[in-house]
Each structure stands twice: as structure tokens, then as C-alpha cells.
């Protein structure tokens, strides 16, 4: 690899191949812009050269502007919170890229992500929940999935009144619960259609890979390792890898199991379309003590509501709205913001009326709506 002086690096430049520090520590993947803070970090560490096999290129200003528009959709009025969310996803994407490349990741970097995420949830709770259903992130699906699962896990743990250190362990376990997937062939993970028995067993092995990464490579305590090992155990004992049941399963693992299942249902997968939040919530409610701890399900419903924050709904007057807040005492009557009113007028950002359905008895939700249904009506 050729050496590139740090003094030549400028904010916004990219390389056609990954850029490394000391030959094996990834700075940025191929065709990802170098940020100002990346350069500052190099100066802080006293790094004079980085290494790459690629060529320096500059981002297309028009493409960059379009990417910024795409990554900050109008429905999120609090753009600063969304930038924080995107930044945390980028942090986790760096972790995923390093693990895929066989590069070690320090526990303190994961701890930084956990702490930033918890702070974001506590400072902007409703916004962070809304990003799960409404965030538009392309090309970082694994990282987004892990971050969203961690957000949901944190909310459940808080609802269950877990102490701070336990919440932190659960968030960390959620961030790392599927990293073992990065050790499996990409073709297997993206296969369309059914899996053979051998392929299914290989997929199931990801819990053991995750456990090894978390315990041996990152040296996290057993509290975190147990979460990643057991998050596919089932309440009825039909899960894996240990076929344990009920309260014998670690509470953190039971929490991550619910969060992971919901996130998987609402996310786009190679083999199916995503579900809307309302349908995913209905699926969890119909579990009937098979996969999930009923107390964890109850805490999850209390936290997110029947119509999770970020859901698009249709009102009885024909207006479309987005759920912006929920009340545990009235799960069918959340607080909403109008996107398209009954006359067909379209509103952007925070322009639409904010309505508390608990106070406005004349309005009610008739059904949840797939965002694609109104995509052609917003411009």
C-alpha cells in the first residue's frame, strides 16, 4: 500500500479503496468521505501517514447535496437529533466494516457508541423512536439494524426499571447481538427462498460467533456475552443454542429477543418487504407465550404503543398523519401530526397540525398505512 501524508487530507475527499492507519486499522471504507473529525483524530494521535491502495477522488457536489436531502427527510423537524442518530449509525458501520475485514475493535469504542446512544434516547426519546420507522439510510443496513435494536432494547429495559449499569449492558449486548453474522458468507445471508438444513444450522451458528467476538476478542464481561449467546432462546424452550426456557433465559437476552424480532419485521430484507409498525406490533401481541417473555412484551407495548412512533395512519376524516407520541394509558389514541389533511393539502416538517387524539374525541384512527401509499402524494 502507498502512504498518503495526513497533511494532504481534506474534509470531503474519498479514496477508491479503503484507507488504513498503521496498515490494519480501518480509517474509512472505499468511497466514503473523510470527515473533519477523522482528520482531527489523526492529528491527536500523532499519525503522519495513512495507507491505501486506492486513488484520491472528490465527491460530486450535486450528489453530495442530494445525499444530504435524502438523509434528512422533511418528516423530522429535529434535524440535529437525526444527525446524531446518523452519526451513531456511522460509528456502528465502522465497527461492522472492521469486523468483516478481520480488524479488531476495542471495547471502549463500543462503550462510546452505547453511551452516545443512551444519551440521545434520554434527550430526544420520541425522535429516536421515530427514526426506527422513518429513518432513510442506504448502504448501512446492518449497522442501522443493530442501532435500532439497541434503541428498542434500551426503552424496554427502562420501562422494566432496570438500573443504569444493567441498561448499559443490555444496550451493548443489543449492539453486538448479530455481529457473528459478519463471519458468515454474504451469499448465505442474502439468499432468496428457503434455506437447506445445513444452511439453517450455519445461520444459527451466528450466536456462537457473536459470543466469541464479544467475550474473547472484545473482552466484555459475561453479562454482555450471555445476552448475545441467548437472544434466540425461546420462552417455550424451542430456541437455540441451548434450548433453555422461561426465566432461565437471561433478562437482557429476553429483551433483545423482542427488540430484534420487531426490528426484523419492519426492516427491508432481501427475501421480503418490510412490515408496517402496526402489523409488526400485532404479530408480537399474538405470540401467546411461545417465543417471548410476556412481561417484556407488555413493557414493549407500553413503551411504543399499538401504533409506534413514526407510524403513518389514516384518520376517519380521510387525513393522513404520523404518530409523534404515545400514551401507555391510551395506546389507541396517540398524539399525531397531520401530513395530508382531509382536503388533500400536503404539509412538510412541522407545518401540519399537532393533534392529541385523547383530547379530540371526534377523530380516530381507521388503519395503519404503508408509507408507500402516500409517497406519490407528497410532492
Scanning the structure block, which residue is given the C-alpha cell 500523532?
A: 46
Can you tell me the distance from the alpha carbon of 41 to that of 103, in angstroms, rounded to the nearest whole number?
19
Of 274, 304, 334, which one is at a domain's C-terminal end?
304
| Diameter of the chain measured on Cα atoms | 68
- Structural domain contains residue 213: yes
Residue 61 scores a pLDDT above 70: no
Q: Are residues 239 and 137 in the same domain?
A: yes
Cβ 339 vs Cβ 329: under 8 Å: no
Can you tell me the distance from the alpha carbon of 313 to that of 280, in angstroms, rounded to the nearest whole number?
14
- Structural domain contains residue 65: no
pLDDT digits (tens, 9 = 90+) for 235-281: 999 999 999 999 999 999 999 999 999 998 888 655 455 678 888 88
Query: What DSSP letter does each residue of 97-152 carry, written as one string?
Result: HHHHTT----HHHHHHHHHHHHHHHHHSHHHHHHHHHH----S-HHHHHHHHHHHH
Q: Are residues 183 and 329 in the same domain?
A: no
CATH code where residue 17 lies: 3.90.105
Length of the chain: 379
Q: Are residues 218 and 238 in the same domain?
A: yes
- Residues above pLDDT 90, as percent of the chain: 47
- 93 HSE (CA, 13 A, CB side): 17
What is the count of structural domains for the chain? 3
Q: Are residues 227 and 94 in the same domain?
A: yes
Residues 6+ apart with CB under 8 A from 296: 156, 160, 254, 255, 257, 258
Of 246, 273, 304, which one is at a domain's C-terminal end?
304
Q: Are residues 185 and 54 in the same domain?
A: no
Q: Are residues 367 and 252 in the same domain?
A: no
Can you tell me the distance from the alpha carbon of 150 to that of 240, in angstroms, rounded to the nearest whole number?
21
Q: 3-state SS of 328-361?
A: CCCCCCCEEEEEECCCCCECCCCCCCEEECCCCC
- Structural domain contains residue 69: no
Q: Are residues 281 and 320 in the same domain?
A: no
Rounded to 5 degrees, φ, ψ at 323 are: -75, 125
pLDDT band at residue 69 under the 50/70/90 scheme: very low
pLDDT digits (tens, 9 = 90+) for 70-109: 333 344 444 688 889 999 999 999 999 999 988 889 999 9
- Structural domain contains residue 68: no
Of 284, 304, 324, which one is at a domain's C-terminal end?
304
- The model's pTM is 0.75
- Residue 32's domain comprises 2-59
- Structural domain contains residue 203: yes
Q: Are residues 174 and 257 in the same domain?
A: yes
pLDDT digits (tens, 9 = 90+) for 10-56: 888 888 877 877 655 667 766 778 888 778 777 877 788 888 888 88
Amino acid at each position: 500500500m502507498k502512504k498518503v501524508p495526513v497533511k494532504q487530507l481534506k474534509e470531503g475527499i474519498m479514496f477508491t479503496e479503503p484507507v488504513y492507519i498503521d496498515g490494519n486499522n480501518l480509517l474509512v471504507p472505499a468511497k466514503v468521505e473523510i470527515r473533519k473529525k477523522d482528520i482531527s483524530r489523526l492529528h491527536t494521535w500523532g499519525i503522519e501517514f495513512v495507507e491505501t491502495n486506492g486513488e484520491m477522488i472528490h465527491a460530486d457536489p450535486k450528489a453530495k447535496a442530494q445525499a444530504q436531502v435524502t438523509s434528512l427527510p422533511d418528516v423530522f423537524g429535529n434535524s440535529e437529533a437525526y444527525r446524531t442518530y446518523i452519526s451513531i449509525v456511522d460509528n456502528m458501520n465502522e465497527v461492522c466494516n472492521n469486523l468483516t475485514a478481520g480488524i479488531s475493535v476495542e471495547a471502549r469504542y463500543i462503550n462510546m457508541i452505547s453511551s452516545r446512544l443512551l444519551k440521545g434516547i434520554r434527550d430526544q426519546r420520541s425522535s429516536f423512536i421515530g427514526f426506527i420507522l422513518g429513518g432513510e439510510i442506504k448502504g448501512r443496513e446492518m449497522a442501522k439494524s443493530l442501532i435500532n435494536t439497541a434503541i428498542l432494547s434500551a426503552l424496554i429495559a427502562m420501562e422494566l426499571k432496570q438500573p443504569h449499569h444493567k441498561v448499559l449492558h443490555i444496550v451493548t449486548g443489543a449492539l453486538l447481538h448479530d455481529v457473528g453474522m459478519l463471519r458468515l458468507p454474504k451469499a448465505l445471508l442474502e439468499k432468496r427462498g428457503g434455506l437447506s438444513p445445513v444452511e439453517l444450522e450455519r445461520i444459527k451458528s451466528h450466536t456462537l460467533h457473536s459470543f466469541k467476538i464479544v467475550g474473547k476478542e472484545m473482552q466484555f464481561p459475561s453479562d454482555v456475552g450471555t445476552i448475545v449467546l441467548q437472544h434466540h432462546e425461546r420462552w417455550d424452550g424451542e430456541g437455540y443454542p441451548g434450548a433453555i426456557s422461561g426465566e432461565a433465559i437471561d433478562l437482557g437476552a429476553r429483551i433483545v429477543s423482542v427488540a430484534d424480532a420487531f426490528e426484523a419485521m419492519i426492516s427491508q430484507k432481501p427475501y421480503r418487504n418490510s412490515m408496517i409498525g402496526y402489523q409488526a406490533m400485532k404479530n408480537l401481541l399474538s405470540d401467546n407465550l411461545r417465543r417471548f417473555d410476556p412481561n417484556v412484551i407488555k413493557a414493549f407495548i407500553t413503551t411504543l404503543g399499538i401504533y409506534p412512533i413514526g407510524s403513518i395512519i389514516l384518520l376517519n376524516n380521510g387525513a393522513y398523519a404520523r404518530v409523534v407520541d404515545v400514551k401507555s394509558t391510551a395506546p389507541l389514541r396517540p398524539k399525531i401530526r397531520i401530513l395530508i389533511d382531509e382536503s388533500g393539502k400536503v404539509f412538510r416538517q412541522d407545518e401540519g397540525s399537532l393533534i392529541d387524539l385523547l383530547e379530540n374525541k371526534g377523530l380516530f384512527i381507521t388503519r395503519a398505512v404503508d408509507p408507500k401509499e402516500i409517497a406519490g402524494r407528497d410532492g
